[in-house]
């Protein structure tokens, strides 16, 4: 068994927050702090009230005094965690609000960072300022007010602590950031717009088609398909989604550190040596086969897990014939199997042969569950529907639907047809600004390889976005398109790593600084992500998941 880390109590606070919620835990720890405070620095007040005097007599019989970590430390752990949760990943998250005048409004998380830092300073300097206030009282002859009056003394110390903490943090930030430049809203060369209203709409649409006792499991892998894992998961948490799926343990840890509460299932492989992190962050690990389950169990950490059954995809999972091994895993000491699932590999197809294969997979999965019941195993929560599993097989009764691409409002391919039509709205748009307009004469070429030669005198616009931003190079030479002034124009020449060019000859009054849309809507026309992916010879899932590595995300409401 692995050596355990020294007990610090921090894991207990994480558990308490997840179980009861931040507000309740904050109230409890604040009460402890006040009890400790009035049993120590302000015992003079408590001793004048018979009930409190008797209460503290009992406390002192057990603990001798209240100046200890039991009373004072918990509230600072909770405040620090709350401030960290609010400020995580907000340094570059800007929120654009839809307003009648279409102007942009940006908010930053600086105040939350200040709260987190100031609370730490208060924790450190509060005892020292008690001494300072008493010294000032003696020097000014105001002992009767500042010392003997306990309430005045308490409020003076508190006010001085807060003032000193805020002042010192702001002074430190000014010194640390001297010479640095702040981000100026509206100056991005290219960016992703994430429409949170559409995301919320899609959640409601999907839930309306699910059984009442079925939960939506939001798939967050690959930065939420390029939409931003922190931004989307935080919003989904706020509107009631509390089941998530990630591809890797690091994605799961990131979600936890961003303050996401609820279930987080790791869909892929995690090295058994990282079992301690699975336990620490309360993540649910997929069991990919029997040898892996044994290795994970041997690590000595209590792990929550979902068991995957291979019903025909032949990727991860237990074979459907391995009933005895599956039963043995349910009896392992350190593995708590709280879910079991399979993956339907052609659920997106409406071809007759693929429908037959999917039904074989479904029946195979149900047979495994029935065999487990015969062996006396209590079958945990089940799931097999991904986005297309719900769209094409809505009749299946499961405990979760793993919604990925449908959650973000787009099909994998523009040709996809589904049994269950849904009015899902695209969440992501890709936009860039015109940085240069150039006149070229008939016969002149543009870009690498001279793949575009003007057949007439033309006007071209340069956009500072390229394949390093996730826009496929396969969209070069007219396969890609853009919208500007609500009109469609072609991408000409080859898409470069950081730039591309569009032909705006037929668009009047295009000027530097104007916005071009490469994915999304402009006026009455739209360039769907699925269409761009299809033109590039790919699928929407791949196209979107490659975006956002260096593009800013603007949240639109």
Known catalytic residues?
A: 221, 448
Q: What is the DSSP letter of 468?
A: G
Q: Which residues contact 394 (CB under 8 A, 6 or more apart)?
A: 209, 419, 420
* Beta-ladder partners of 486: none
Cβ burial 497-524 (10 Å sphere, 16+ → b, else e) = eebbbbbbbebeebeeeeebbbbbebee
- For the stretch 536-554, what's the b/e string if a residue is b when 16 or more beta carbons lie within 10 angstroms of its beta carbon? bebbbbbbbbbbbeebbbb
Q: Which residues contact 211 (CB under 8 A, 6 or more apart)?
A: 397
Q: What is the rounded distance in angstroms from the CA atom of residue 174 to the CA atom of residue 360? A: 65
Cα dist. 555→83, 145, 177, 195, 341 in Å?
A: 21, 52, 26, 6, 34
SS3 per residue for 203-262 = HHHHHHHCCCCCEEEEECHHHHHCCCHHHHHHHHHHCCCCEEEECCHHHHHHHHHCCCCC
The Cα angle at residue 384 between residues 204 and 274, in degrees rounded to 5: 100
Residue with tokens 């295009």: 510
Cβ neighbours around 92 below 10 Å, total? 10
Could you write out the DSSP letters of every residue in 321-341? T-HHHHHHHHT-SSEEEEEEE
Burial 125-163 (b: 16+ CB within 10 A, else e): bbeebbeebbeebeeeeeeeebbebbebbbebbeebbbe
β-sheet bridge partners, residue 487? 484
Q: CA angle at residue 425 from 520 to 492, to 5 degrees?
A: 20
Strands (E) in 136-205, as ranges, are 190-195
Residues 6 or more apart whose CB falls under 8 angstroms from that of 139 comprise none
Cα–Cα dist 274/51, whole Å: 51
Pair 337, 380: CB distance under 8 Å: yes
- Compute how many other C-beta atoms are within 10 angstroms of the C-beta atom of residue 417: 12
Kindly report the CA angle at 340 between 418 and 315, in degrees rounded to 5? 70
Q: What is the DSSP string of 260-300?
A: --SEEEE-S---GGGHHHHHHTT-EEEE-SHHHHHHHHHT-
> Which DSSP category does 508 fall into?
T
- With beta carbons less than 8 A apart as the criterion, state whether 308 and 337 touch: no
């Amino acid at each position: 068994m692995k050596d355990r880390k020294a007990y610090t109590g921090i894991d207990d606070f994480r558990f308490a927050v997840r179980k009861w919620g931040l507000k309740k835990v904050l109230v409890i720890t604040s009460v402890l702090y006040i009890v400790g405070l009035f049993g120590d620095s302000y015992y003079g007040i408590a001793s004048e009230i018979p009930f409190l005097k008797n209460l503290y007599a009992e406390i002192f019989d057990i603990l001798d005094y209240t100046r200890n970590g039991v009373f004072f430390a918990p509230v600072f752990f909770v405040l620090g965690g709350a401030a960290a949760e609010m400020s995580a990943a907000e340094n570059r998250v800007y929120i654009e609000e839809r307003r009648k005048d279409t102007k942009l409004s940006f908010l930053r998380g600086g105040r939350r960072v200040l709260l987190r830092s100031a609370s730490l300073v208060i924790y450190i300097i509060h005892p020292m300022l008690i001494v300072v206030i008493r010294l000032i009282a003696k020097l000014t002859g105001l002992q009767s007010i500042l010392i003997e009056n306990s309430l005045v003394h308490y409020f003076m110390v508190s006010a001085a602590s807060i003032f000193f903490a805020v002042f010192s943090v702001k002074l430190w930030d000014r010194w640390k950031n001297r010479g640095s430049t702040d981000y100026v809203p509206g100056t991005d060369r290219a960016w992703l717009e994430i429409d949170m209203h559409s995301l919320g709409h899609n959640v409601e649409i999907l839930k309306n088609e699910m059984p009442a006792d079925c939960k939506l499991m939001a798939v967050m892998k690959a930065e939420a398909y390029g939409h931003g894992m922190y931004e989307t998961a935080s919003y989904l948490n706020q509107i009631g989604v509390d089941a998530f799926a990630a591809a890797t343990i690091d994605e799961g840890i990131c979600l936890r550190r961003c303050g996401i509460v609820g279930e987080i299932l790791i869909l892929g492989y995690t090295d058994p040596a990282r079992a301690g992190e699975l336990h620490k962050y309360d993540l649910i690990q997929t069991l990919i086969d029997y040898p892996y389950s044994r290795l994970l169990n041997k690590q000595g950490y209590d792990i929550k897990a979902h068991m995957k059954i291979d019903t025909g995809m032949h990727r991860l999972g237990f074979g459907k014939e391995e009933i005895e091994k599956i039963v043995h895993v349910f009896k392992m000491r350190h593995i708590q199997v709280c879910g079991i699932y399979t993956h339907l590999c052609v659920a997106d197809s409406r071809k007759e042969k693929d429908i037959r294969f999917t039904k074989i997979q479904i029946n195979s999965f149900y047979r495994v569950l029935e065999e487990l019941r015969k062996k006396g195993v209590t079958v945990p929560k089940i799931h097999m529907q991904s986005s297309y599993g719900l769209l094409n097989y809505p009749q299946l009764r499961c405990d979760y639907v793993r919604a990925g691409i449908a959650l973000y409002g787009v099909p994998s391919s523009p040709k996809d047809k589904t049994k269950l039509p849904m009015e899902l709205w695209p969440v992501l748009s890709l936009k860039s600004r015109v940085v240069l307009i150039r006149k070229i004469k008939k016969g002149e070429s543009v870009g690498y390889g001279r793949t575009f030669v003007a057949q007439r005198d033309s006007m071209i616009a340069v956009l500072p976005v390229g394949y390093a931003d996730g826009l496929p190079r396969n969209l070069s030479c007219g396969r890609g398109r853009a919208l500007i002034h609500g009109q469609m124009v072609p991408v000409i020449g080859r898409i470069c790593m950081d730039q591309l060019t569009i032909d705006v000859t037929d668009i009047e009054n295009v000027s530097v600084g104007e916005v071009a849309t490469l994915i999304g809507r402009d006026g009455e026309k739209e360039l769907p992500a699925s269409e761009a992916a299809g033109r590039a010879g790919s699928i929407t899932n791949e196209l979107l998941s490659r975006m956002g590595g260096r593009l800013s995300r603007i949240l639109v409401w």
